[in-house]
Amino acid sequence: MDQVSSQITQKLNTIVGAEDRHSIRSKRKTINALLPYAVWRERDGQPEMLDAFLCAARASGTSEFGWSRVRQHVGAPLSKATPRAVVLASPHIQWEFLADRGDLVRRWAAATSAVPDTEEVVQSVLDTLFQVASQDALLPHIPANVWSWLAKKPSLPPVYWGRDAGAHLHVAKAVRGLGNIKIIKSYFLLVWSEWDYLASGGFDESRASIREDFGGVGDGCHRAELIQHLDRVLAQLDRGLEYLQQHNPNPGERNFRMMKDQYRELKEILLETNIGAVARESYPTMMRIRMLTQADMLGSRVTFMCALPP
């Protein structure tokens, strides 16, 4: 690494090391201006600056860390970047304003197949996936195999921009359209969270999915996992708004109440669906027992009648 790059990277690491979110946010324009340069350095075999940028973005504690003027233009260096740089930088670009967005989505999708699935990579892929999928014009460019990253069951902390985008109606519909119940379950495990409430359309789609996708007699393990997850989410919400705001300052009192109402209702629907499925599963067994009982009673009656004197 040349001396200038080394000094810049060291300065970034110093800012992050101070663990002062306000200081990082106050310097976000300067830090973001380095992103295109950091992507180029990654291509030249020097990933340190990009790593420092990503650390700063996470340490800022906000999903709005990116500076829009930079996010609009970082697509150009990404077109020739390494797969790792494409995957890790993609959550920080402004997809709705880029030229040749379809080509970049396809390049990003190809890059996801060329990088190891570390926790950081998985989070970056899902963060970008939800941002891209939230735009109708870009959704058709996403290959079906990219959605399989949901099965890796990643976590997305509240600072990830894609969390909110992923909970909307047409994203939920796209996931359900895959017809893979494991992927659908992994999607709900990610977007049902104490950090976010569900937009009205996404909430309606969640309710419909529970009844239509998870009502089968063989889906008990999936329902149990979702119920356990909602128990955990509700337990976190029961700790109160002030506790949650220590980790995510965004939820207000109104959103907090909405989250509790939504996730309680989803759990109730899951429990009702589970009861119905168990009843359907046990119905054939009960019918067999009833038929055998009736046969035994009929057999006993015939035996008794045959034993009567003429």
CB-facing half-sphere around the CA of 123: CA atoms within 13 A:
13
pLDDT reading at 260 higher than 90: yes
- pLDDT number for residue 43: 87
Cβ–Cβ under 8 Å, residues 139 and 231: no
CA dist 167 and 202 (Å) reads: 6
In percent, the amount of the chain with pLDDT more than 90 equals: 39
CA dist 97 and 99 (Å) reads: 7
CA dist 252 and 114 (Å) reads: 40
pLDDT, tens digit (0-9, with 9 covering 90-100), for 26-61? 777 777 778 888 888 888 888 888 888 888 777 776
**What is the average pLDDT across 276-296?**
62
Angle at 109 between CA 145 and CA 186, to 5 degrees: 45
Mean pLDDT across the chain: 82
Cβ–Cβ under 8 Å, residues 159 and 62: yes
- pLDDT number for residue 285: 54
Give the model's confidence band at 142: pLDDT under 50 very low, under 70 low, under 90 confident, else very high.
very high
pLDDT reading at 238 higher than 80: yes
Domain layout of the chain by residue ranges: 179-310
pLDDT, tens digit (0-9, with 9 covering 90-100), for 177-201? 999 999 999 999 999 998 888 888 9
pLDDT, tens digit (0-9, with 9 covering 90-100), for 55-80? 877 777 665 666 666 666 677 778 88
The pTM of the full predicted model, rounded to 2 decimals, is: 0.79
Tokens for 180, please give them: 């893979």
CA dist 279 and 265 (Å) reads: 21
Strand pairing partners for 193?
Answer: 196
- pLDDT number for residue 304: 41
Token look-up 């045959």 returns 306
pLDDT, tens digit (0-9, with 9 covering 90-100), for 81-131? 899 999 998 888 888 877 778 888 999 999 999 999 899 899 999 999 999
Give the model's confidence band at 19: pLDDT under 50 very low, under 70 low, under 90 confident, else very high.
low
